Protein backbone atom coordinates (compact mmCIF):
# COMPACT_ATOMS: atom_id res chain seq x y z
CA UNK A 1 0.00 0.00 0.00
CA UNK A 2 1.24 3.49 -0.79
CA UNK A 3 2.09 5.88 1.95
CA UNK A 4 0.35 9.25 2.17
CA UNK A 5 3.75 10.89 1.65
CA UNK A 6 3.98 9.58 -1.94
CA UNK A 7 0.44 10.65 -2.78
CA UNK A 8 0.98 14.21 -1.64
CA UNK A 9 4.09 14.57 -3.80
CA UNK A 10 2.31 13.56 -7.00
CA UNK A 11 -0.54 16.04 -6.50
CA UNK A 12 1.77 19.00 -6.99
CA UNK A 13 2.80 17.87 -10.48
CA UNK A 14 -0.71 17.74 -11.96
CA UNK A 15 -0.93 21.45 -12.77
CA UNK A 16 2.20 21.54 -14.90
CA UNK A 17 1.68 22.09 -18.58
CA UNK A 18 3.07 19.31 -20.79
CA UNK A 19 4.24 21.93 -23.33
CA UNK A 20 6.43 23.86 -20.91
CA UNK A 21 6.97 27.59 -21.07
CA UNK A 22 5.70 28.66 -24.50
CA UNK A 23 7.69 31.91 -24.46
CA UNK A 24 10.98 30.00 -24.63
CA UNK A 25 9.90 27.37 -27.15
CA UNK A 26 11.23 27.53 -30.69
CA UNK A 27 8.70 27.41 -33.51
CA UNK A 28 8.90 27.09 -37.29
CA UNK A 29 6.72 29.38 -39.35
CA UNK A 30 6.31 28.72 -43.06
CA UNK A 31 5.75 32.05 -44.73
CA UNK A 32 6.01 33.40 -48.26
CA UNK A 33 9.76 34.02 -47.88
CA UNK A 34 10.48 30.51 -46.59
CA UNK A 35 10.74 29.23 -43.05
CA UNK A 36 11.16 31.56 -40.10
CA UNK A 37 12.41 29.90 -36.93
CA UNK A 38 12.54 31.30 -33.41
CA UNK A 39 10.59 32.14 -30.30
CA UNK A 40 7.13 33.66 -30.81
CA UNK A 41 8.48 37.19 -30.25
CA UNK A 42 11.34 36.64 -32.71
CA UNK A 43 8.90 35.42 -35.37
CA UNK A 44 6.65 38.46 -34.82
CA UNK A 45 9.64 40.80 -35.06
CA UNK A 46 10.84 39.10 -38.27
CA UNK A 47 7.44 39.43 -39.98
CA UNK A 48 7.15 43.06 -38.85
CA UNK A 49 10.55 43.75 -40.41
CA UNK A 50 9.54 41.99 -43.64
CA UNK A 51 6.35 44.09 -43.68
CA UNK A 52 8.34 47.33 -43.31
CA UNK A 53 10.72 46.27 -46.08
CA UNK A 54 7.82 45.52 -48.42
CA UNK A 55 6.19 48.87 -47.62
CA UNK A 56 9.44 50.72 -48.36
CA UNK A 57 9.64 49.03 -51.75
CA UNK A 58 5.99 50.00 -52.43
CA UNK A 59 4.82 46.38 -52.56
CA UNK A 60 1.43 46.64 -50.87
CA UNK A 61 0.46 43.04 -51.63
CA UNK A 62 3.57 41.58 -50.01
CA UNK A 63 3.22 43.92 -47.02
CA UNK A 64 -0.34 42.74 -46.44
CA UNK A 65 0.76 39.14 -46.84
CA UNK A 66 3.46 39.52 -44.18
CA UNK A 67 1.01 41.21 -41.81
CA UNK A 68 -1.34 38.24 -42.10
CA UNK A 69 1.42 35.79 -41.23
Output the pTM of the full model: 0.59
Q: CB-based contacts of 53: which residues, under 8 Å, 6+ apart?
A: none
Give the C-alpha separation, 63 to 31, whole Å: 12
Stretches where the chain sits below pLDDT 50 are: none
Mean pLDDT score of the chain, rounded to an integer?
A: 77
Q: What pLDDT score was predicted for residue 19?
A: 58
DSSP letters spanning the chain = ---HHHHHHHHTTTTS-TT--TTT--EEEEETTEEEEE-HHHHHHHHHHHHHHHHHTT-HHHHHHHHH-
Amino acid sequence: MRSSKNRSRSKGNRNRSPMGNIVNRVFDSSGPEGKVRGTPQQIIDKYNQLTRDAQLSNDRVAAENFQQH
